[in-house]
Structure 1
Amino acid sequence: MSGVLEGQVAWVTGGGSGIGLAGAVDLAKAGARVVISGRDAAKLDAAIAEAESRGAPAGSITARPLDVADAKAVNAVAAAIQAELGRVDILVNSAGLNYPKRYWCDTDAETFADVVGINLNGATYCTLAVVMGMRARGQGTVINVASFAGFHYEYMTGPAYTASKAAMMALTHSFNIEECVNGLRATSLCPGEVATPILKKRPVQPTEADKARMLQEADLGRTIRFIAEAPAHVCVNELVISPVWNRTYVQDQPLVRKKPAA
């Protein structure tokens, strides 16, 4: 039985691990031909094997190494994908990073520029590289993996990450304002804490108990698939998803709370 996305081509940046890899797996399961990109070629090869162990059909995912902060490299990879597979129907901008040295008191211009260069500029470059092909076909989906931090400002993520993710949300809405008349759509996907490898970049890493309460990679894979599988006339402008135990909220509450009466 063919999947809903049969015949479509998806390009997933940040596809070597975490949310990007989870999205690639679910898009492949839905029938899409998926290309994953990331800076580490060996990591991408391992990711393809991992994806197939998670149920992605053999051969449904291939890799194109890429640093999304390099606009020329982005254009070259986008051109190669479209030359080989004929199109890009779904773009998932999931490449992102943050650093332990993230707060105003200890960050610097180089660190700030690196975060913005990957998180925001990279998403912009990739979208620019595929939008004309989407427009020519009159259909296309862009999924920008922003963050709960861009939706609900918080201390934990620091200024560069927060600003880049808030800007990704603005980028998404700008895309919809202009491209809706051409049949294109974009979603700003804003997840709360997800148990992914990026947590290792935090100044204080969460405990295993905290990670177990977070969203899991598979939760975001299913969410990305849901957005991509929506009928062509449907635009999910913004999707905010968070764990029930939301530390952004909990940290602002008293440490001891009485349970409500039954």
Structure 2
Amino acid sequence: MGLLDGKVAWITGAGTGIGRAGAIALAREGAHVMLSGRTRQTLDETARLAGDAGGSGTAALLDVADKHAVRRVADAILAAHGRIDILVNSAGINLRERTWGQVTPEGWDDIVRINLDGTFYCCHAVLPSMRARKDGVVINVSSWFGKYITGLAGPGYTASKFGVAALTETINVEDGINGIRACVICPGEAATPIMERRPVKPPPHELARMMQEEDLGRAILFVATLPARVCVNEIIISPTHNRFYVGGLEAAAPTPSS
């Protein structure tokens, strides 16, 4: 018997990284995971891994920046399963050309549409059904850069991830009385595919010291399996060897004039 037997979880950004790790962790505890992302091949691989973990997964292609597509996927899940118990918003991007001297209005739009608008669209799509059942968990993946401002993330990513953190708490303000719990997870450096988008990719020995995908999967599982009387509003989680503390990011940060 798993801790999440009979539960339905919807995970965005499920094809890779934190979303994939969360999907596998939830599936291992018995949840049926609905997997959304923009690449069929990676989603199918996550579904296979969820099955190998003892659970089950179904893939649905989705660009979370498309509010109409988000609604269609949410409605399809509700029609097929009658419920969405857990929503994990893990879809997110950043660009290499991210500083004020580099980013274009189009680049800004891409970041904000996926990171912030997409999170809103998915929450907006599931909250009515959770409200009707007086139960539900929303887990939004923000970032260390959604809590602390540095020169590494760029204005688009920073602003959007701060927005995700604020958006998450408004759910608790309005819908805690309806049994809905919302948690924002703010990870420090983790060895996920988003590192490929860094202006300077960290070397292998630094990636090995970072948090790994499965560490964040366990954090998602922790929040999802707590009793309904418990709301974890926020988790700030970082590697023990935190380069933001030890001054190891100078080489990784883009220069203002670049």
**TM-score of the alignment, normalized to the shorter chain, above 0.5:** yes
**What fraction of aligned residue pairs are identical, expressed as a percent?**
52
Of 71, 84, 90 in structure 2, the residue corresponding to residue 75 of structure 1 is 71
Superposition CA RMSD, Å: 1.4
Note if 1:14 corresponds to 2:13.
yes
Q: Distance in 2 between matches of 1:253 and 1:23?
A: 27
Secondary structure (helix, strand or coil) at the match of 1:106 reads coil
Between stretches 244-253 and 60-69, larger displacement belongs to 244-253
Contact kept in structure 2, 1:11 and 1:88, CA below 8 Å: yes
Q: Deviations over 1:58-81 (max 9, x none)?
A: 5x1111110000000000000011
Question: What does residue 164 of structure 1 align with?
Answer: 160
Classify the secondary structure of the residue corresponding to 1:11: strand
Summarize the alignment of residues 34-113 of structure 1 with structure 2, pairs less than 5 Å apart: 34-52=33-51, 55-57=52-54, 60-113=56-109
Question: Could you tell which deviates more after superposition, 15-24 or 39-48?
Answer: 39-48
Match of 2:205 in 1: 209
- Tell me the residue number matched to 1:30: 29
Separation in structure 2 between the aligned mates of residue 61 and residue 69 of structure 1, nearest angstrom: 23
Residues 94-133 of structure 1: per-residue CA shift (max 9 Å, x gap): 0000010000011111001100100010010000001000
1:252 Cα deviation from its structure 2 partner: 7.5
SS in 1 for 2:61: coil
Contact 1:154 1:248 in 2 (8 A): no
Query: Where in structure 1 are there 5+ consecutive unaligned residues?
Result: 255-262
The number of aligned residues is 250
Aligned to 1:142, the other structure's residue is in SS state strand
> Does structure 2 retain, via aligned residues, the 8 Å contact 1:144–1:187?
yes
Q: How far did residue 43 of structure 1 move?
A: 2.0
Query: What displacement does 1:253 show?
Result: 10
Please list, as runs of the form range in 1=range in 2, the aligned pairs for 1:170-249 lying within 5 A after superposition: 170-249=166-245
How many Å separate the matches in 2 of 1:113 and 1:146?
17
1:141 has 2:141 as partner: no
Could you tell me which residue of structure 1 aligns to residue 253 of structure 2? none
For residues 118 and 53 of structure 2, the distance between their equivalents in structure 1, rounded to whole angstroms, comes to 26
Point out 4+ residue stretches in structure 1 off by more than 3 angstroms.
none
Q: CA offset at residue 179 of structure 1?
A: 0.4
Unaligned 5+ segments in structure 2 are 251-258
**Aligned partner letter, 1:81:** I
Q: CA–CA distance in 2 between the matches of 1:198 and 1:49?
A: 22
